Structure 1
Amino acid sequence: MKRLLLLCALAAALSACKREPEPAAPVVTPGAPAPAVGDATTVAPADVKLEDVSESTSDYIIGISYQVPAEQYPGLAAELKKYADAARNDLIEAAKARNQPGGATSAPYDLSLSFTELMHTPDVVAVAADGSSYTGGAHGAPLIARFVWLPKQNRMLTAQQLIPAPSGWTAISDYVREQLHAALSQRVDADDLPPEERAEVVKNASKMIDDGTQPDPSDFALFEPIAAPDGRLAGLRFVFAPYQVGPYSDGTQTVEVPVDVLLPHLAPEYRPLFAAAPAAPADAPVASPPAPTR
């Protein structure tokens, strides 16, 4: 029953919220700081330094770790630092506000954020940002972002650029929903709930899944490349923050979409990045099959 009440409350809250259109850089999870976004093609100064941050005062505690060798790509390094700086500044401002008359005066606020490398090839560099920002309440707000950098083009790759047509997002949405609904059914079956309670839980959780996976790139803005044996991409792993497709207790959820689902909908310029796509130009001659032997 406790799980049912939580799902109902979250579903109602989620239906009242609308996400903003996809920005040109990774988005942050609901309730987390939204860093400023610049032109994805802008080259950052070469002197961007990614230095770990460790701060502790009576009002807040901050820990930021850069476990990535991204400084060789100044544009990527600038985006990572911009994200971290925005999260840090938001936490400090929140800590200042609570010291004002009428503000809260409980335990120190805290921010924990770590950047880790997911992929590093000549064509694609991917970095994950994961952490949380606590500014009161039952738990911290999750901080989740994904950065996919194209070194040869010196810019970030966004979901909108990768899949430009609405029909592509319809296909991806259908596939992802099927996987999430299947996972939901398995979780609910494991809880062994009475039939009426099970039906209500599935109803509310299914609505969260459908609301959080609309066929729009803004719902799929967080993604990770999946490596193929030949160094290209075997698919994409879409990342959904807590509250997007399920309650906070379900945590971050992911769905892997294989290349055969993605390929018909990829923008032509990005198809060579994927393992099932021909590396040669579309007009390159195709070798004839060998003649049958007698």
Structure 2
Amino acid sequence: MDRLDRAVALLLLVALAGCRDEAPPPPAAPAPPPMVQAPTVPAPREPVVLEDVVETDPRYIIGISYPPEVNRYPGLAAELRDYSEAARQDLLDAVAAMGDEPGGLLYDLALEYKVVADTPEIFAVAADGSTFTGGAHGAPLIARFVWLPREDRLLTADALVPDPAAWDRIAAYAREQLHAALSQRVDADELEPVERMRVVRAAGRMIDEGTAPEADSFSEFEPVLDGQGRVSALRFVFPPYQVGPYSDGVQVVEVPARVLLPHVAAEYRRLFADPGAAQ
């Protein structure tokens, strides 16, 4: 082997030795395991204990009464407290606007809560009252709270009947009942034909507008229970001015389960009585 061949062979040996001595690349780091999100635990409700309220001042008086049973449900108690506090704050804002000058008027807020249903499935409370801050008469305070103890939350009209189109039939039924009641009231007043027509037309327009087929028109309701504690009807409550003049007062319409059930969300049908069982 001549000198050139030996040199080439030596270079090849050095190259091969370098390949053998080179450290293998480190293995790829394993991918981190997917993050598992911890289940969301609802924060415990702060205890709310409602007590009757009596506030007096040279310019106003406030009286609010609560049934003690509502304190069993802190979430519901918080809803009632918030409603009361909003009404109270409205009154105090009106008092502040009145100033310190004696005006001869005593503003007032009167609000009473009553339990209208109490079963393991449904606990309902009616709020009725008024607030006076001047004018010809006080402003009505009308609200209904339907609490589901097992779910620990309020039942609202849009959750109960989630399909907007379904309100057409419910509104039509309520409207029919309100128009019938209007005719009875007008007949009892024995008005002259022209005056009767005027009253019916004006009040009828308020009925049609106040029963627009949407959940907001039927937001205040309370359950009517049968002997087994099932809902046989819903009593929808309309404050003055919604479906009639102030002089007509609060108006109510009971819509039976047979009308409601085809439109009630599946998860709430268990609350209702079977319409066929009563036939």
TM-score range (shorter-chain normalised) is 0.7 to 0.9
State how far apart, in whole Å, the 1-side matches of 2:232 and 2:162 are.
19
Query: Any idea what the Cα deviations from partners look like across 1:247-277, whole Å, max 9, x if unmatched?
Result: 1011000000000000100000000100117
Of residues 86, 108, 111, the one that matches 2:109 is 111
Query: Any idea what the Cα deviations from partners look like across 1:145-169, whole Å, max 9, x if unmatched?
Result: 0000001001100000001112320
Stretches of structure 2 that go unaligned for 5 or more consecutive residues are 1-41
Provide the residue aligned with 2:88 in structure 1: 88
Q: TM-score scaled to structure 1, two decimals? A: 0.77
Provide the residue aligned with 2:265 in structure 1: 267
- Taking only the aligned residue pairs, the percentage that are identical comes to 57
Provide the residue aligned with 1:247 in structure 2: 245
Larger CA Rg, structure 1 vs 2:
2
1:195-234 counterparts in 2 under 5 A?
A: 195-234=193-232
State how far apart, in whole Å, the 1-side matches of 2:225 and 2:207 are.
27
State how far apart, in whole Å, the 2-side matches of 1:43 and 1:189 are.
57
Q: Which amino acid aligns with 2:110?
A: S
Q: Which amino acid aligns with 2:132?
A: Y
Query: Any idea what the Cα deviations from partners look like across 1:169-209, whole Å, max 9, x if unmatched?
Result: 00000000000000000111111111121111111110000
Are the aligned partners of 1:44 and 1:78 in contact in 2 as well (CA < 8 Å)?
no
- Seen in structure 2, the aligned counterparts of structure 1 residues 240 and 44 have a Cα distance that, compared at 3 Å, is farther
Q: Secondary structure at the match of 2:105?
A: coil
- Seen in structure 2, the aligned counterparts of structure 1 residues 240 and 274 have a Cα distance that, compared at 3 Å, is same
Provide the residue aligned with 1:134 in structure 2: 132
Provide the residue aligned with 1:77 in structure 2: 77
- Seen in structure 2, the aligned counterparts of structure 1 residues 130 and 227 have a Cα distance that, compared at 3 Å, is same
Are the aligned partners of 1:43 and 1:74 in contact in 2 as well (CA < 8 Å)?
no
Report how many aligned residue pairs link the two structures.
235
1:156 is the counterpart of 2:154: yes
Stretches of structure 1 that go unaligned for 5 or more consecutive residues are 1-41, 279-294
Provide the residue aligned with 1:12 in structure 2: none
Provide the residue aligned with 1:5 in structure 2: none
Q: TM-score scaled to structure 2, two decimals? A: 0.81
**Bigger relative contact order, structure 1 or 2, given CA contacts below 8 A and separation 6+?**
1
Provide the residue aligned with 2:141 in structure 1: 143
State how far apart, in whole Å, the 1-side matches of 2:89 and 2:145 are.
20
Q: Secondary structure at the match of 2:103?
A: coil
State how far apart, in whole Å, the 2-side matches of 1:58 and 1:81 are.
25
Q: Secondary structure at the match of 1:237?
A: strand
State how far apart, in whole Å, the 1-side matches of 2:128 and 2:188 are.
28
What's the C-alpha RMSD, in Å, of the aligned pairs?
A: 1.6
